[in-house]
Amino acid sequence: MTVSLEQMRRCHFAVDLGAARTRVYVKGAGLVVDQPSVAAVNTKTGALIAVGEFAEKMTGRTPHYIRVVRPVSGGTVVDIEMAQRMLRHLIGDKVRRTLRRKPFLRAAACTPHDADPLAQRATIETLVGLGARRVELVDTLVAAAVGCGLPVERPEATMVMVCGAAATQLAVLSLGSIVTAQRIPVGGEAVDHAIVQHLRHQHELMLPSQSVRPLQLALSGNGLTAHGPESTEIHGRDVATGLARSVQVDTAAVRDAIQTPLTAVLDGIGKVLRDCPPDLVADLADRGIMMVGGSALLPGFDQMLRRATGMPVHIAERPDVCAVQGLGYMLEGKIEPMVLDPLAT
C-alpha cells in the first residue's frame, strides 16, 4: 500500500476522482457524493452553471457560450481549478462546514497505478484547495480490492480488474501489496466509441452521445453473448442529410464491434499472469478474477473473459463504488493490519 493504515485512520474524508464519476466518502457519514465528473461553465462570465448529473444532461445541448467540461481524464486531474470548484458544489456547504471544523483536516484519494508524480501532485493540490492540510494517496487497485472484500492482506493471490471509463487496470495482490500490475488504455469510453463508429460507417447514422450507454444494454439480453434479438431499431441523425432517421441494426455486428477493443484487455491479463510467480498463479486458478468499476457491468463482459482465460470471473456486488468503499473501510478502521509473528526461538 502507498500509505499505512494508521495514517488512513487519521483521515476525515476520501475522494475517488474518476473520469466518469466523482465519489466522496466522509468518515462517520458514509458515501455523500456519487455524481458524474462534469461541470458546465458560462464562457462569458466564468460562472459555474451546473455540476454532476444536471451538467451531464447538458452535453451536446448547450448554446455556444456554455461549455461542458470534464476536469478529470483517465483518473488524473487535468484542470485543478475546475476540479476544486466542481467538488465544492458536489460536497455542499453543510458537509464542507463540518469538515472545516476539524483542527487538522486530512484527506485520502485514489490514484491510478501508473500515475506519475505530476498527476499525483494535481490530485493533492485539488484536495488542498478544499482545505485539506494533508493528503494520503492510495493505489486505486488496492482500494478497489479492499472495497470488494478481497483478502489482500493474506499470503495468497487475489486478482482484481478495475474497469474504468478511460482505462482498465489489472493487478495480482498478495500480503497487502501489488505483485504485478498492468494498465490497458481501453475502457467504457472505447466501447462507446466502437459502437458510434460502427453505426457511422455501416449505417451512416450519428448516435446522440446520451444514447450510447443505454444502447449497450438494449442490444440484447446478454450483451456480448450470441443470445437475444437478431436486430434492434436505433434512432439517430443521418450523416449526409442531417435529418432524423431510424435503422434496423444487426446485433451480431454490434457485438463484434464491441468485442474488438476488449481484446486488448485479454492481452493485458495474459501479461500480468506471465509476470506473476507460479505459486500465485496456482491460487488464481481457483480464486479467479474479481471485476470492479462501472464498465464491469457491460453485459457479457464477464462471460467473454471466462471463456478466454478458463478462470472463474466474478463481478463485485457494487462494482462502481468499490474503490471509494475501500477508502472508507480504511478511514473507519475496518481493515486490520497484517501482523507477521516472528518465529519462536
Q: Per residue in 163-178, pLDDT tens?
A: 998 899 999 999 888 9
With pLDDT > 90 as the criterion, what percentage of the chain qualifies? Answer: 53
User: What was the pLDDT predicted at 177?
Assistant: 87
CATH architecture of 152-316: 2-Layer Sandwich (3.30)
Could you give the C-alpha distances from 321 to 49, 50, 90, 196, in angstroms and in order? 27, 23, 17, 27
Instruction: Give the model confidence (pLDDT) of 98-118 as tens digits.
Output: 998 998 999 999 999 888 999
Which of 27-36, 173-182, 222-231, 275-284 shows the lowest per-residue confidence on average (mean pLDDT)? Answer: 222-231
The ranges assigned to domains in the chain are 5-144+327-332, 152-316
Cα(80)–Cα(69) distance, integer angstroms: 12
Please report the pLDDT score of residue 218 as a whole number.
Answer: 54
* 181 beta partners: 171
Q: Is the pLDDT of residue 87 over 60?
A: yes
Structure confidence at residue 216 (pLDDT): 62
Q: Which residues of 169-200 are buried (b: 16+ CB within 10 A; e: fewer)?
A: bbbbbbebebbbbbbbebbbbbbbebbbebbe
* Structure confidence at residue 138 (pLDDT): 94
Mean pLDDT score of the chain: 86
- CA 133 to centroid of chain Cα atoms: 26
Strand, helix or coil at 192?
helix
Quick check: do 5-144+327-332 and 152-316 share a fold? yes
Segment 54-72 shows an average pLDDT of: 91
- Kindly report the three-state secondary structure assignment for every residue of 193-254: HHHHHHHHHHHCEECCHHHHHHHHHHCCCCCCCCCCCCEEEEEEEECCCCCEEEEEEEHHHH
* Top-tier CATH class for 5-144+327-332: alpha beta
User: Strand, coil or helix: what is 278?
Assistant: helix
Length of the chain: 345
Bridge pairing between strands 168-174 and 313-315: unpaired
pLDDT-derived band at 300, boundaries 50, 70, 90: confident
pLDDT digits (tens, 9 = 90+) for 236-278: 888 889 898 888 888 778 778 888 888 889 999 999 999 999 9
Q: Which of 124-138, 145-159, 243-257 has the lowest mean pLDDT?
A: 243-257
What residues pair up with 169 in beta bridges, in sequence order?
A: 162, 183
At residue 41 the predicted structure's pLDDT band, cuts being 50, 70 and 90, is very high
Predicted confidence at residue 219, as pLDDT, reads 54
Contact between 326 and 147 (Cβ < 8 Å): yes
Lowest mean pLDDT among 180-194, 219-233, 241-255: 219-233
